[in-house]
Amino acid sequence: MFFTYLRRELRRRRKAALVVASGLALGIALVIVVSSVSSGMKQAQGKVLESLYGLGTDMTVTKAATPPEEGDGDERPRFRFDAQDGDSDEEQSTDRVMVQGFQTLASSTVTEVGKQDGVSEAVGGLSLNVVKVDGQFTRGEFQQDQNSGGSEQQGGPGGGTGQPQGRVQGGGADFEVNSYTVYGTDVTNLDLGPLTSSKITKGRTFKSTETDAKVAVADSSYAKEKELALGDTVTISGTKFEIVGIATPDSGDAAANLYIPLKQAQTLADSKDKVTTVYVKATDSQQIDAVKSAIQKNISGTTVTTSADLADTVSGSLSTASNLASNVGKWLSIAVLVAAFLVAGLLTMSAVSRRVREFGTLKALGWKSGRVTRQVVGEAVVNGLLGGVLGIALGLAGAYAVTAVSPTLQAQLGSTGGGGAMGGGPSGMGGGMGGPGRQTASKALEVALTAPISLSTVGLAVGLAVAGGLIAGAFGGWRASRLRPADALRRVE
Amino acid sequence: MYELRGVTKQYRRGKETVHALAGVDLTIPDGDRLVIQGPTGGGKSTLLQMLGGLDRPTSGSVELDGTDLAKLSEAKLTKVRSESIGFVFQSFNLIPTLNAQENVETALVPLGVKAAERRERAAEALKSVGLGERLTHLPSEMSGGQQQRVAIARALVKQPKVLLADEPTGNLDESMRDEIMDVLETMWKEHGLTFIMVTHDSAIAKKAPRVATIRKGTITVTERA
Ligand SMILES: Nc1ncnc2c1ncn2[C@@H]1O[C@H](COP(=O)(O)OP(=O)(O)O)[C@@H](O)[C@H]1O
Ligand SMILES: [Mg+2]
């Protein structure tokens, strides 16, 4: 009887059922769109992060930032040129190979990190910044001031010592500054690290035997700019490397301009057994936070950065949209859902009120209160499920629409970390150069927003539909349970 | 057999208290046919509710075969209604979305009768009130007289001891009244029921051997020789 009655009610009161269902459908559709857009945002952020980290990296380990100490000045790049006599126009060239961020970890840290619980793989890498300066320098000529020692002399403190005064004239420099990045990759383990986010589009990647080989993989846009082709050689700080492959990043920018074997990079930077970053893959992606704290606790002097940490530094329209989706979108869909639940509940209740005599009659016939209530709740749950089906259809349509349009979003990765911006200072080279370390710390990318629908989103929608039905049923059922058999005689129609 | 002793029923309406029944004593033997009449608002329906276990009196006792309905729990009262009492209402009270057969079946649901048997007994009951051809008709597809006959079939399908009817012809036009009265009369005779009927129709009351009149909550029973 339950199902016959239920079926008959729903068929005959289609309109009322549809009203309740539509309200729920709207709320559920909104939840689907919002949560799929949110996961699209996460994917977009993931892409941004992936271009930094490479695929499969759950976190990175770097040296904990230490306040710069006195006398650390020699860590700064310094260029020494011999100023030539005025008539010489000999070209001079100097390469300065610097470790990005000036902070390194011992290679042994990589092994140590690898031994931590929950770490599946750990691979070290060395990021370098190479600044190449080419040019001519002419020595200035000193000209003695004719009036020195004269009566108009103002005489500063300690002035008037009779030393010759004058100024340097005619000194000049004509030079070009070239800065590029080199990433030393562990050729014995290419599973992790920045190179994983690029595809080898020409040539090949490194072989695991090439630890000592003078080979390099060039980023495609850098190769284009410098007109580098397979088989060409590049000279980094006097060492020639043969280009064996061209790598094109999957999205966004490449992590480095040139990739060379780690050992070579260490030699170039005079950083034997040093790495800048350890790329870590966790055995369980749910345990990332636990692994992070384990590493930080067990290996002192390290900073562990997870994707989530890095995601916090993403700014730009991506992050605005992402905040919008997670805040406004979330609250809006909660508000609509609550409203839909309430409306469904009240409509169900008023439907019960219109059927007071019907339910009273059933009670008069000896139907237990529970049986009548069950009937009301059953109807409401079916209405809820109907709303769920409608809502899922509507939500899927909405999410597909977003994916079809796929609006472009900008992302900037915030400049936390890195540090060590150079240039500017009085002792530096007049012209400001992009500081090393900023290379990874600040990055702007464009990503297309999609709204992927996961099974769990659909599951959530179904859950909400059932919940909506049950809430409506609870309202209606409560009303029905309070009816008395004597209501069969009531004259309300 | 019914034994009512000092039954009162008060309703609160705002600050007022309505004395719908003001001390009713009444004995109704098994197989009796009692007609209740009286002015509107006199307490006829209220009395019928007490007899049918739809409501409890404010005071007094309503014994049905020795069991005081006034003292039964809601669950027990529900069981008594489902097993022993058949109702026929003035406005038929059929479930609008269920067809004739399903409407009759609703009376067998609380008795736990299996679906196949339920259908069969419902069809049988409808045949006995002359609606064997209309099993799948919805209430909206039937005349008032036919609807009331479905309601009578629903009341009797479970073979109750008591049939209670509250103005069963009140919503019917002249031509159908006699038809329904005939059906009820026949059923009472065939099933050996205790049949208690509230009516406005003085013609019906005149023909009845035993008539109870309720005025302002007090009852007077007139026996005709
Ligand atoms: N549920 C109720 N609440 C308040 N007053 C009621 C209720 N049911 C009946 N009454 C009142 O009790 C009195 C008797 O009603 P009722 O038994 O329906 O009379 P009748 O059926 O004879 O017309 C009337 O005054 C009526 O208004
Ligand atoms: Mg009445």
Window 328-357 of A, Cβ < 8 Å to B? 357
Atom of ligand 1 nearest to the CA of A490: 1
DSSP-derived 3-state class of residue B123: helix
pLDDT confidence band for A165 (50 / 70 / 90): low
DSSP summary character for residue A84: B
Does residue A8 sit at the B interface (CB-CB below 8 Å)? Answer: yes
Report the candidate in B163, B152, B168 with the shortest Cα–Cα distance to residue B200: B168
| Contacting residues of A for B49, CB less than 8 Å apart | 486, 489
Does residue A224 sit at the B interface (CB-CB below 8 Å)? Answer: no
Give the mean pLDDT of B44-49: 95
Instruction: Read off the pLDDT of residues A348-394 as tens digits, 9 standing for 90 and up.
Output: 888 898 899 999 999 999 999 999 999 999 999 999 999 999 999 99
Q: What is the pLDDT of residue A169?
A: 64
Whether residue B161 has pLDDT greater than 80: yes
Q: What is the pLDDT of residue A416?
A: 39
Report the candidate in B194, B175, B94, B200 with the shortest Cα–Cα distance to residue B141: B94
Give the mean pLDDT of B185-208: 89
pLDDT confidence band for A451 (50 / 70 / 90): confident
Give the CA count within 13 Å in the CB-facing half-sphere of A172. 6
All residues at 6 or more sequence positions from A186 whose CB lies less than 8 Å from its CB, including other chains: A123, A124, A125, A193, A262
Q: How far is A488 from chain B (nearest CA, A)?
A: 7
Q: Percentage of residues in chain A with pLDDT exceeding 70?
A: 75
Instruction: Say which residue, A403 or B5, is predicted with more confidence.
Output: B5
Specify whether the CB–CB gap between A49 and A57 falls below 8 A. Answer: no
Q: Is residue A125 domain-shared with residue A270, that is, in the same domain?
A: yes
DSSP-derived 3-state class of residue B154: helix
Give a yes or no: residue A165 inside a domain: no
Does residue B170 sit at the A interface (CB-CB below 8 Å)? Answer: no
Whether residue A161 has pLDDT greater than 50: no
Whether residue B43 has pLDDT greater than 90: yes
Q: How far is the CA of B148 from the centre of ligand 2 (A)?
A: 17
Q: What is the pLDDT of residue A142?
A: 63
Report the candidate in B203, B187, B207, B204 with the shortest Cα–Cα distance to residue B195: B187
Q: Are strands B33-37 and B194-198 parallel, antiparallel or unpaired?
A: parallel
Distances (CA, A) of A246 to A120, A254, A328: 29, 12, 44
Closest chain B residue by Cα to residue A487: B54
All residues at 6 or more sequence positions from A248 whose CB lies less than 8 Å from its CB, including other chains: A198, A199, A201, A219, A220
Mean pLDDT highest for which of A79-93, A187-201, A395-409?
A395-409
Whether residue A425 has pLDDT greater than 50: no
Would you call B87 and A364 a contact, using CB atoms and an 8 Å cutoff?
yes
Q: Is residue A234 domain-shared with residue A339, that is, in the same domain?
A: no
* Adjacent-strand bridge partners of A184: A126, A260
Specify whether the CB–CB gap between A362 and B107 falls below 8 A. Answer: no
Instruction: Read off the pLDDT of residues A186-238 as tens digits, 9 standing for 90 and up.
Output: 888 888 887 887 888 889 988 888 888 899 999 988 888 888 888 888 888 88
Ligand 1, atom 21: closest residue by C-alpha: B45
Cβ count within 10 A of residue A11 = 10
Q: Percentage of residues in chain B with pLDDT exceeding 90?
A: 86
Terminal alpha carbon distance of chain B? 22
Q: How far is the CA of B63 from the centre of ligand 2 (A)?
A: 22
Nearest to A361 among B75, B93, B97 (CB): B93
Q: How far is A35 from chain B (nearest CA, A)?
A: 40
Distances (CA, A) of A93 to A81, A265, A425: 8, 20, 22
Q: Is residue A285 domain-shared with residue A337, that is, in the same domain?
A: no
Would you call A9 and B111 a contact, using CB atoms and an 8 Å cutoff?
no
Range of the domain at A452: 2-49+317-489
Closest chain A residue by Cα to residue B51: A486
Query: CA-to-CA distance for A170 and A161, rounded, in angstroms?
Result: 27
Give a yes or no: residue A84 inside a domain: no
Closest chain A residue by Cα to residue B156: A365
Give a yes or no: residue A10 inside a domain: yes
> For an interface test with A, which of B83, B88, B97, B136 has the most A Cβ atoms less than 10 Å from its Cβ?
B97
Specify whether the CB–CB gap between A64 and A302 falls below 8 A. Answer: yes
Nearest to A489 among B49, B97, B98 (CB): B49
Nearest to A365 among B45, B96, B106 (CB): B106
DSSP summary character for residue B103: H
Q: Percentage of residues in chain A with pLDDT exceeding 90?
A: 17
Q: Crossing angle of helices A14-53/A2-12, nearest 10°?
A: 90
Instruction: Say which residue, A322 or B98, is predicted with more confidence.
Output: B98
Instruction: Read off the pLDDT of residues B105-116 as tens digits, 9 standing for 90 and up.
Output: 999 999 999 999
Residue owning tokens 């008060």: B10
- Chain mean pLDDT for chain A: 78
Q: How far is A347 from chain B (nearest CA, A)?
A: 19
DSSP-derived 3-state class of residue B36: strand
Domain boundary among A271, A300, A329: A300
Q: What is the pLDDT of residue A30?
A: 86
Query: CA-to-CA distance for A259 and B173, rounded, in angstroms?
Result: 100
Q: Is residue A267 domain-shared with residue A233, that is, in the same domain?
A: yes
pTM for this prediction: 0.66
Give a yes or no: residue A331 inside a domain: yes
Ligand 1, atom 7: closest residue by C-alpha: B11
Q: Is residue A226 domain-shared with residue A278, that is, in the same domain?
A: yes
Specify whether the CB–CB gap between A373 and A362 falls below 8 A. Answer: no
Instruction: Say which residue, B87 or A445, is predicted with more confidence.
Output: B87
Query: CA-to-CA distance for A98 and B139, rounded, in angstroms?
Result: 92
Whether residue B84 has pLDDT greater than 90: yes
Q: What is the pLDDT of residue A406?
A: 83
Distances (CA, A) of A123 to A54, A119, A194, B165: 12, 11, 11, 89
Distances (CA, A) of B149 to A334, A357, B26, B129: 52, 19, 29, 6
All residues at 6 or more sequence positions from A165 whose CB lies less than 8 Å from its CB, including other chains: A144, A145, A148
Q: How far is the CA of A235 from the centre of ligand 1 (A)?
A: 106
Q: Is residue A342 domain-shared with residue A421, that is, in the same domain?
A: yes
Specify whether the CB–CB gap between A333 and A27 falls below 8 A. Answer: yes
pLDDT confidence band for B134 (50 / 70 / 90): very high
Give the angle A340-A326-A459 at the CA atoms, nearest 5°: 55
In the structure, which protein residues have their CB atom closer than 6 angstroms to any atom of ligand 1?
Answer: B 11, 13, 18, 20, 38, 40-46
Give a yes or no: residue A481 inside a domain: yes
Q: Is residue A182 domain-shared with residue A236, that is, in the same domain?
A: yes
Query: CA-to-CA distance for A112 and A104, rounded, in angstroms?
Result: 15
Q: Provide the CATH topology of domain B2-223.
A: Rossmann fold (3.40.50)
Does residue A362 sit at the B interface (CB-CB below 8 Å)? Answer: yes
Q: What is the pLDDT of residue A44?
A: 76
Instruction: Read off the pLDDT of residues A250-293 as tens digits, 9 standing for 90 and up.
Output: 766 677 889 999 888 888 888 888 888 888 888 877 788 888 88
Q: Is residue A329 domain-shared with residue A183, that is, in the same domain?
A: no
Q: Is residue A355 domain-shared with residue A476, that is, in the same domain?
A: yes
Domain boundary among A268, A300, A332: A300
Nearest to A366 among B81, B118, B166 (CB): B81
Q: If 0-12 CB within 10 Å is exposed, 13-18 middle and 19+ buried, where does residue A70 land? A: exposed
Does residue B203 sit at the A interface (CB-CB below 8 Å)? Answer: no
Does residue A6 sit at the B interface (CB-CB below 8 Å)? Answer: no
Q: What is the pLDDT of residue B4?
A: 97
Instruction: Read off the pLDDT of residues A15-30 as tens digits, 9 standing for 90 and up.
Output: 888 888 888 898 889 8
Domain boundary among A243, A271, A300: A300
pLDDT confidence band for A414 (50 / 70 / 90): low
pLDDT confidence band for A344 (50 / 70 / 90): confident
Whether residue A75 has pLDDT greater than 70: no
ipTM of the complex: 0.96
Window 139-168 of B, Cβ < 8 Å to A? 154, 166
Task: Kindly write down the DSSP assignment for every residue of A17-32, as one continuous string.
Answer: HHHHHHHHHHHHHHHH
Q: What is the pLDDT of residue A493?
A: 44
Q: What is the pLDDT of residue A417?
A: 37
Report the candidate in B143, B164, B135 with the shortest Cα–Cα distance to residue B62: B164
Q: Give residue A276's identity as a one-letter amino acid code.
A: T
All residues at 6 or more sequence positions from A87 whose CB lies less than 8 Å from its CB, including other chains: none
Query: CA-to-CA distance for A167 and A174, rounded, in angstroms?
Result: 21
pLDDT confidence band for A171 (50 / 70 / 90): low
**Least confidently predicted of A322-326, B11-15, B166-170:** A322-326
Whether residue A90 has pLDDT greater than 70: no
Cβ count within 10 A of residue A371 = 16
Q: What is the pLDDT of residue A55?
A: 66
Q: What is the pLDDT of residue A413?
A: 63
DSSP summary character for residue A326: I
All residues at 6 or more sequence positions from A463 whose CB lies less than 8 Å from its CB, including other chains: none
Specify whether the CB–CB gap between A12 and A379 falls below 8 A. Answer: no
Instruction: Say which residue, B91 or A73, is predicted with more confidence.
Output: B91
| Contacting residues of B for A488, CB less than 8 Å apart | 54, 87, 89, 93
Q: What is the pLDDT of residue A160?
A: 44
Instruction: Say which residue, A416 or B173, is predicted with more confidence.
Output: B173
Q: How far is the CA of A200 from the centre of ligand 1 (A)?
A: 90
Specify whether the CB–CB gap between A275 and A104 falls below 8 A. Answer: yes
Q: Is residue A193 domain-shared with residue A271, that is, in the same domain?
A: yes
Domain count, chain A: 2
Closest chain B residue by Cα to residue A356: B93
Give the CA count within 13 Å in the CB-facing half-sphere of A285. 5
Q: Where are the beta strands (DSSP E) in chain B?
A: 2-13, 16-28, 33-37, 59-64, 67-68, 85-88, 162-166, 194-198, 210-215, 218-223
Q: How far is the CA of B20 from the centre of ligand 1 (A)?
A: 6
DSSP summary character for residue A209: T
Instruction: Say which residue, A423 or A173, is predicted with more confidence.
Output: A173
Q: To the nearest 5 percent, what fractions of chain A are helix, strand and coil?
A: 45, 25, 30
Q: Is residue A349 domain-shared with residue A385, that is, in the same domain?
A: yes
Query: CA-to-CA distance for A237 and A471, rounded, in angstroms?
Result: 72
pLDDT confidence band for A347 (50 / 70 / 90): confident
Q: What is the pLDDT of residue A146?
A: 60
Distances (CA, A) of A366 to A196, B90, B106: 73, 19, 9
Q: If 0-12 CB within 10 Å is exposed, 13-18 middle and 19+ buried, where does residue B217 land? A: buried
